Every structure is written in C-alpha cells, then in structure tokens.
C-alpha cells in the first residue's frame, strides 16, 4: 500500500536482520523479562496465600 511492502515482508526482513538468538538469551527485551518474572512472582505469592488460608483457617 502506497509503495510499501506488505506487513508480512517487513516482519520477515526485520527478523532476518536480527538473526538467531544467542545461547542462553530467551528474552530480547529487558521489559519483557521483568514483566515475566513479576507475573510469575504474583502467581507464586497468591498461591502461597491461598494455601495458607486453606490449611491454617481458624
């Protein structure tokens, strides 16, 4: 559209420029890594709270 390649071709070109990920790096962006671990921490904490309420209910 308007002289630009389709979105699929632009995405493919951008991914080809980046190349493969290095070994041991699974998150390309630091904010994604922080959000993942924050979400994981929230899940763990809520599960611990729920289990403590279940086992130590007065």
Residue 30 is predicted with a pLDDT of: 84
Q: How far apart are CA 9 and CA 15, in angstroms?
A: 10
**Residue 10 contacts by C-beta under 8 Å, 6 or more apart in sequence?**
4
How high is the pLDDT of residue 1? 60
Task: Tokens for 10, please give them.
Answer: 């632009």
DSSP letter at 5 equals P
The answer to whether the predicted template modeling score (pTM) of the entire model surpasses 0.85 is no
* Residue 2 DSSP symbol: T
List of the chain residues with pLDDT < 50? none
């Amino acid at each position: 559209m308007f002289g630009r390649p389709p979105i699929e071709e632009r995405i493919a070109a951008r991914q080809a420029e980046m190349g493969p990920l290095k070994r041991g790096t699974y998150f390309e962006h630091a904010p994604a890594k922080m959000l993942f671990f924050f979400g994981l921490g929230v899940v763990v904490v809520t599960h611990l709270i729920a289990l403590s309420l279940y086992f130590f209910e007065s």
